[in-house]
Structure 1
Amino acid sequence: MFFSLKSRLIALILVLFVLSFGTLSFLLFAESRAVIRSYIESSALEKMEEYGSYIDMVQMQIYDVASLVFNSDMAKNWDNAMNDPQLSEGEKMLANLAMSRFLTQATNSYTSISDVSIYRLNGLRIGGENQVVGDPSFLQESWYTNFFTSGDRWLAAHTDVHERVRDHGNPVVSLLMPLGTFHHATTRNVMKVNVSESYFLEPLSRIHLANNSTIFLLNEQGRPLLSQQAHELGAGTLSIIEHIRNSTPKSGVEYLTNDVGGRDMMVYKKLGRTGWMLVGLAPEKEMYSSLHKLQTTTFVVTIAIILVSLCAAAWLSYGVTKPLTRLVLAMRQVQRGAFDQAESLLPPDQDVKSEISYVISTFRYMIIRLRQHIQNEFELKLLRQQAEYKALLMQINPHFMFNTLELVSSLAMQRRTDDTVQVIEDLGKMMRYSMNTNDDRVLLAEELTNVRHYISILQTRFGPKLDISTQESGRLDHLVIVKFILQPLIENAVKYSFNYQTTAEVHIRICRNKEHLHLQIKDNGPGMPQDIITRLQDSETVTAQLEPMLRNSSWHIGLGNVVARCRLHYGSLFAIHITNGDTQGTCIELVLPVQEENHVQRIDR
Structure 2
Amino acid sequence: MFYSLKSRLIAIFILLFVLSFGALSAVLFNESRSIILSQLESSALEKMEEYGSYVDMVQMGVYDVASLVFNNETTRDWDDRLGEEGLPTGEKILSNLEMSTFLTQATNSYTSVQRVTVYRDDGLWVSGENQFGEDATFLGESWYRDFKGKGERWVAGHVDLVERRFNNDNPVVSMIMPIAEFEPRHASAFMKINVSTDYFLEPLDRIHLGVTGSIHLLGSNGLPMLGQEGFEPTEERTELVRTLKQDSRKQGVIHSDNSSGQREIIVFKKLKRTNWMLVGIVPESDLYAELFDLRQSMIAIATLVLLLSVGLAIWLSHSISKPLSRLVAAMRHVQRGDFAQAELRMPPEVGLRNEVGFATSTFRKMVVQLRQHIKTEFELKLLRQQAEYKALLMQINPHFLFNTLELMSSLAMQKRTDDNVDVIESLGRMMRFSLRMSDDIVSLGDELKYAGDYASILRVRFGDRLHLSIDKMEGLERHTVIKFILQPLIENAVKYGFRHGTEVYVDVRAERAEGHIRLVVEDNGPGIPEETINELRDKTLSARMEDVLVSKSKQIGLGNVLARCGLYYGDLFRFHIGTSELGGASIALLIPIQEELSDVQRDDRG
TM-score of the alignment, normalized to the shorter chain, above 0.5: no
TM-score by length of 1: 0.44
- TM-score, normalised with respect to structure 2: 0.44
* Greater C-alpha radius of gyration: 2
